[in-house]
């Protein structure tokens, strides 16, 4: 369950906050199932991971927030996302990969910003227009 903080983890290839940067929130971005069209035109599915999978989660949450209140500014959106995030401290998790194998992942405080963003949390914190 990617919204259960005990089931969530930050991969070793995820972005980290560098000096002078501001990492806002974390979002699900590992072992995301995505469509794939092979050379014969058949559609299949495969697993993807990384910022390219996490950022659409955040963009979708922001779209829902703006649908609820179209007068939100970028600063207000950022404040709501950060304030409603579930804190995700540094940690280590043993994960089960899609092939059934296990691996261990660890991350520091530089990897999660304000924590795990969720649509429920962000929408609850978004005022009506």
Residue 2: the pLDDT is 57
For tokens 């429920």, what's the residue?
A: 120
Chunked mean pLDDT (size 10), the chain, 129 residues: 75 84 88 83 84 91 98 98 94 88 91 92 96
* Helix spans in 3-118 (H): 51-68, 74-84
How many whole angstroms separate alpha carbon 95 and alpha carbon 86?
A: 20
Residue 67: the pLDDT is 98
Contacts of 74-79 with C-beta under 8 Å, sequence gap 24+, read 78/24
Residue 58: the pLDDT is 96
Residue 38: the pLDDT is 81
pTM for this one? 0.83
Q: Are residues 84 and 121 in contact, defined by beta-carbon separation less than 8 angstroms? A: yes
């Amino acid at each position: 369950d990617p919204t259960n903080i005990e089931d969530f983890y930050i991969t070793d290839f995820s972005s980290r906050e560098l000096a002078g940067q501001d990492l806002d929130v974390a979002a699900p971005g590992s072992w995301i199932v995505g469509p794939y069209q092979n050379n014969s035109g058949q559609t299949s599915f495969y697993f993807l991971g990384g910022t390219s999978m996490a950022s659409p989660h955040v963009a979708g949450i922001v779209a829902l927030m703006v649908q609820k209140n179209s007068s939100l500014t970028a600063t207000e959106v950022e404040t709501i996302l950060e304030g409603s995030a579930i804190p995700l401290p540094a940690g280590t998790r043993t994960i089960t990969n899609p092939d059934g194998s296990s691996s261990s992942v660890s991350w520091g405080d530089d990897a999660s910003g304000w924590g795990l963003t969720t649509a429920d949390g962000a929408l609850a914190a978004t005022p009506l227009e």
